[in-house]
Structure 1
Amino acid sequence: MEDLVVVVPGIMGSRLADAQGRPVWDLSGGTLLRAVRTLGGSLKNLRLPAGTGDDHPGDGVRPVGLMPDLHVVPGLWEPIDGYTGLMSWLSRTFGLTPGDNLLDFPYDWRLSCRYNAGLLKRRVEEALERRRAARPGQAGARVVFICHSMGGLVARHYVECLGGHAVTRRVITLGTPHRGSLDALGHLVNGLHKGWGPLGLDLTAFARSLPSLHQLAPDYACLAGPDGGLEYARDLPGLPGVDPELLADAARFHAALRSAADRQDRTELHAVVGVHQPTATTARYAEAEGRLVLLETIGGTDEGGDGTVPRLAARPANADRTGHLVAESHTACEQHGSLQNNPGVRDTLIRLLGQEPPFHRGGEGAGPPLGVHAPGLLEPGDPYEVTVTVPVAADGHDRLALTAELHPAAGGRPVLRSLRNLGGGRYAATYPAPAPGGYRLVVRPDRTDEGAVTALTLVGGPDD
């Protein structure tokens, strides 16, 4: 491949170290719970001072690599799978060499997307210049970005606002909240669930200090206003936990992307969108409770999404807000945290990177669309309850044989359950309270991988 392929992870997807090289966010020991317990105090200390804006706080924190495995900061975002598998697959499938024509871009995800886009510009353009100089026959090499979640906003700001379109062939986004996510706003307002007290961990103040989390808040009318209609979060003053200045700045960030994306010479943008998962799309503020109540409908319709990013927000709007800027390049029946490892998504990457489609697999269907609801954070001692819904329009929606395997992220034998058919396309299974740690739940139709959906969970536990 002539082009330079750059992988940009999402929020929390980069390992962070302090000025002495000590990890402040890393999966040390190979277990998610140990990392959260050990590094929770470090993350509390990484709270950003007010007025950080698009700068670095000067605290010596630096990114040192991609997160390799299941990771989550409780109260900040939902669990995400690591990027080691994606990097290995790209290297094998396309003959790419890490550090040469395959780059990762770890970044300090606490900071503004604008700040990190500036660093991305420097890293990419230096690497591209070296590559072109070392290979005169590849002077036409350009950049292809593969971006998960917030990484798509970082790459888009570089490409569309900092001149990156001149060297970029295409930007591929996987579950990027181009128009924001209700989950981000919910975490800002509601904070960390008190049931996580046994870990002695409350990162609410840390999360609320982050420009990046505010830039992930919805950039569409999503909150029920006084007259019952939907309004923008920035137009409803007084929401607790939200920094109004950061929220207003986030609105300017998204407005700049919309304006720049309408240029005549804009770069190809391909949006891979997760669908059919229960996804918070609108909300109302319950003043008596002092919290946001998240709703999965808008205008009375459940449009779904990837469980974290609503379908309507996974594609950018044009400058006039009269429609989406690009069509959906692929819709994966998958959850947000596992899109980068989904087989159907990887088939789409093969096509978008200009390779021959995998015809050798023969005729394969996508499988029935499974909407999986499983807790991202589970309190210690609670049973693990899974519910699956299948649209009534799907063939055989009420007579599927569904199984679920609960895999410990740190290794060990998975626990298999057959889901109970509740009728009407609804299925359920209950596991006894899992031991503390991280888990991957894989739901399959008829015990096949085709159409499988992966949900990620962190189970809390008492301090050692």
Structure 2
Amino acid sequence: MKKMVRIKHAKDGYVAPRIYEKTPQEMFKPRVASNCEVNRTHVFRVKRQTVAIVVVPGVMASRLSNLDDEPVWDPDDLYFMSNAYFWCAPEKRYKLLIKKGRKVMDQGDPEILKKYPKAEERGWTGLAWDFFGKLLGGLHDWKTPLKVFLDLPVYAFGFDWVDSCEVSGTLLRQFILEKVKADKVIIISHSMGGLVTRYALAGEGGEALAKKVLGVV
């Protein structure tokens, strides 16, 4: 039997609205809510979730410096690269790239940081902008209806491609679990980045990361 709807009058007491909080997945179910009371306001709120996109580049696409913060590999600086590697002997390349150790560069173009204020904290500066700038910027500026329900921050994981996939995969796992602020992540990997991602998920301790990963592209 259907519930009878009673007309509300001005003298009736105030009845607070009933508020429902639903995840995006729940909002798409055929029956969003049951047992809604008649003569009462019902408010549905979407619980915004964060799904981060993490870009893991291929071999040689990460910008590297030595432990003294001197650049040793920077594809964005063609003048440096041509002088450092094109006209030099193997011994000099070894001394430059291997002997003094390496780390991912964290200094970016001021114009890029001005346009994307969170680029540095999200790891964008570790990637060669000429190779990955359009991808990172395009994902950040993506006009998609999904953003009605989801926050889609874009992160980048630059890594020392001279080192092993085991070392880089362990660092990727730590990066996502400790620095990526999201409920779930989607990893976009390329070339060696796919091998690094595979170790991060399948290597020792990968179970914790697997629970957070929504998919790998």
TM superposition score normalised by structure 1: 0.27
Per the TM alignment, residue 15 of structure 1 is displaced from its structure 2 partner at its CA by 0.5
Amino acid at match of 2:132: Y
1:157 counterpart (199, 203, 214): 199
Question: How many residues matched?
Answer: 135
8 Å contact kept, 1:24–1:43: no
Please point out which of 49, 52, 62 is paired with 1:4.
52
Q: Is the 8 A contact 1:14 1:67 kept in 2?
A: yes
CA distance in 2, matches of 1:159, 1:60: 26
Aligned residue in 1 for 2:116: none
Cα distance, 1:126 vs. partner?
0.7
The offset of 1:28, in angstroms, is 5.3
Question: Does residue 112 of the first structure (1) align with residue 139 of the second (2)?
Answer: no
Residue 44 (1) aligns with residue 94 (2): yes
Name the CA shift for 1:47/1:87 in 2 (closer, same or farther; >3 Å).
Answer: closer
Give secondary structure in 1 for the equivalent of 2:159.
coil
CA distance in 1, matches of 2:127, 2:76: 13
Give how far 1:149 is off.
1.1
Q: Within 5 A, what are the aligned runs for 1:58-73?
A: 59-64=100-105, 65-69=126-130
User: What is the distance in 1 between the residues matched to 2:103 and 2:157?
Assistant: 12
Write the distance in 2 (CA, Å) between the matches of 1:85 and 1:28.
14
Q: CA deviation at 1:18?
A: 1.1
User: Which amino acid counterpart does residue 95 of structure 2 have in structure 1?
Assistant: N
Show CA shifts across 1:106-143 (max 9, x none). Answer: 11111111110011111110124xx25xxxxxxxx111
Separation in structure 2 between the aligned mates of residue 92 and residue 154 of structure 1, nearest angstrom: 27
1:124 maps to a residue whose letter is I
Task: Work out which of the residue numbers 160, 169, 184 in structure 2 matches 1:142.
Answer: 184
Larger radius of gyration: 2
**1:36 shift after superposition:** 3.0
Cα deviation 1:36-84 (Å, max 9, x = unaligned)? 3222156432565xxxxxxxx8x44101110122xxxxxxxxxxxx001
The one of 1, 4, 18 aligned to 2:66: 18
Structure-2 change in CA distance of 1:12 and 1:151 (3 Å) = same
Could you tell me whether the CA contact under 8 Å between 1:9 and 1:149 is conserved in 2?
A: yes
Give the whole-Å Cα distance in 1 for the aligned partners of 2:186 and 2:143: 13
d(CA) in 1 for partners of 2:137, 2:76: 20
| Preserved contact between residue 73 and residue 97 of structure 2 (Cα < 8 Å) | no
Structure 1 stretches lacking a partner, 5+ long = 49-56, 70-81, 133-140, 173-464
- For residues 277-302 of structure 1, give each alpha carbon's deviation from its aligned partner in whole angstroms, at most 9, with x where no partner exists: xxxxxxxxxxxxxxxxxxxxxxxxxx
Relative distance call for 1:28 and 1:169 in structure 2 (3 A) is closer
Q: Is the contact made by 1:156 and 1:171 (CA closer than 8 Å) also made in structure 2?
A: no
Q: Which runs of 5+ in 2 are unaligned?
A: 1-48, 106-125
Any conservation in 2 of the 1:19–1:61 contact (CA below 8 Å)? yes
Greater RCO, CA 8 A, separation 6+: 2
1:8 deviates by 0.3
Give, in whole Å, the separation in 1 of the partners of 2:185 and 2:103: 24
Alpha-carbon contact 1:25-1:43 (below 8 Å) kept: no
Q: 1:94 to 1:3 in 2, by over 3 A?
A: farther
Which protein has the bigger helix share? 2
| Alpha-carbon distance in 2 for matches of 1:106, 1:43 | 21
Once superposed, what is the RMSD of the aligned Cα atoms? 2.4
Alignment-derived partner of residue 174 in structure 2: 122
1:343-354 correspondence runs (5 A): none
Query: 2:84, 2:96 → 1: CA distance?
Result: 11
The C-alpha deviation readout for 1:234-286, integer Å capped at 9, x for no partner, is xxxxxxxxxxxxxxxxxxxxxxxxxxxxxxxxxxxxxxxxxxxxxxxxxxxxx
